[in-house]
Amino acid sequence: MALKNYQYNKILREYDTRQLKNKHTLDIRTEEVYRVIPELKEIDDAVVTCAVESARLLLTGDDKPLSALRKMTEEASGKRAALLVKHGYPFDYLQPTYHCPDCKDTGYIGNEKCHCFKQAIVDIVYSQSNIKTAIMRENFNTFSCDYYSEDYVDPSTKMSPRENIKKVLEVCWNYINHFDEEYNNLLLYGNTGVGKTFLANCIAKELLDRAHTVIYLTAFQLFDILEKNKFGKGEDSFEFQNQFDYILDCDLLIIDDLGTELNNSFINVQLYLCINERFLRQKSTIISTNLSLDNINTLYSERVFSRIASNYSLLKIAGEDIRLKKLF
């Protein structure tokens, strides 16, 4: 996805900051350990001396010292780990620490952008600060079934709201744990305030933590982008085309509050285009809505309803408005 120069530079500066922080942390740890375990510094100094001498001999065409250096390095590594553990440190205490171990905080794996770099682009282009803030509050650690009653049976699910939400959670965890092996989509539907957005945020956090790119958009935001992509002009048109491309290609797209947008034939066409193209690319989508299945069938085209009904796990969330419950 194309970024403006200042946006690209902002991401690169963040990676530079991470690398400097990682080095600073390692320097502090090394200084501490050398003070506590002088023998470890002696081992490291011996390895450095051997490496310098090997490099000097290599320049003269003598590569025999390389095998001795490799052997010495392996033995030193074992001794270092043993000394650290003996003195109460983790064996890998002097290994570099990374925010993203896959790219070692460079942003790239080979010549390809790392997943963390792609998510950084998503965060900038789609102003995802709201979702980042939300998932700090709304995640599986803070999700509680206590707000769902077990005092009555909901006619549509034939279970109490609490029994039902536990079943829904099982499906959501299965969706997360098999995200890479099994293509699936979710429709979270039910009355206002029963936890649909909260649950979508829970899933988003888990998949973000597992190195997947996630885009969260309200239905209004999504259709605003789709409209601008369709009718925009000039430089803005190019930017919206980039946004549109990434909407179609991210690992998970969350469309929140479907049905709150002003519905018309254009919306119907664009919604079908979006969910169908993601289906063809086998990219997962989660839709949350206050609409019933009958309402979705009435408000949207037959093609939209057919695609959702046949390719989404339909999860009805029953219960009372949790936000109202929290007030009393």
Helix, strand or coil, per DSSP, at residue 102: coil
In this structure, of 61-75, 101-115, 134-148, the range with the lowest mean pLDDT score is: 61-75
| pLDDT at res. 128 | 55
Q: How confident is the model at residue 1, as a pLDDT?
A: 47
Sign of the four-CA dihedral 278, 279, 280, 281: positive
**What percent of the chain has pLDDT above 90?**
55
What is the percent of the chain with per-residue pLDDT over 70, rounded to a whole number?
89
The answer to whether residue 129 scores a pLDDT higher than 90 is no
CA dist., res. 150 & res. 139, Å (int): 22
Please, what is the Cα angle at 151 between 146 and 156, to 5 degrees? 95
DSSP letter assigned to residue 154 = B
Degrees, nearest 5: CA angle 134-220-10: 55
Report how far apart, in Å, the C-alpha atoms of 91 and of each of 22, 33, 98, 213, 272 are: 18, 12, 17, 33, 54
Task: Output the average pLDDT for the chain.
Answer: 87
Per-residue confidence (pLDDT) for residue 234, from 0 to 100: 52
- For residues 289 and 271, the answer to whether their CB atoms sit within 8 Å is no
- Between 52-56, 92-96, 149-153, 165-169, the lowest mean confidence (pLDDT) is in 52-56
Name the pLDDT band for 237 (thresholds 50, 70, 90): low
Residue 61 corresponds to which tokens in the numbers above?
């065409």
| pTM of the predicted structure, to 2 decimals | 0.71
Residue from 136, 201, 148, 147 nearest 172 by CA: 201
Render pLDDT for 40-87 as a digit per residue (tens, 0 to 9): 888 888 878 877 777 776 676 666 666 766 777 888 888 888 999 999
The tens digit of pLDDT for each residue in 243-288 reads 788 888 889 999 999 998 888 888 999 999 999 999 999 999 999 9
Cβ atoms of 290 and 257 within 8 Å: the answer is: yes
* Backbone CA torsion sign across 14, 16, 22, 25: negative
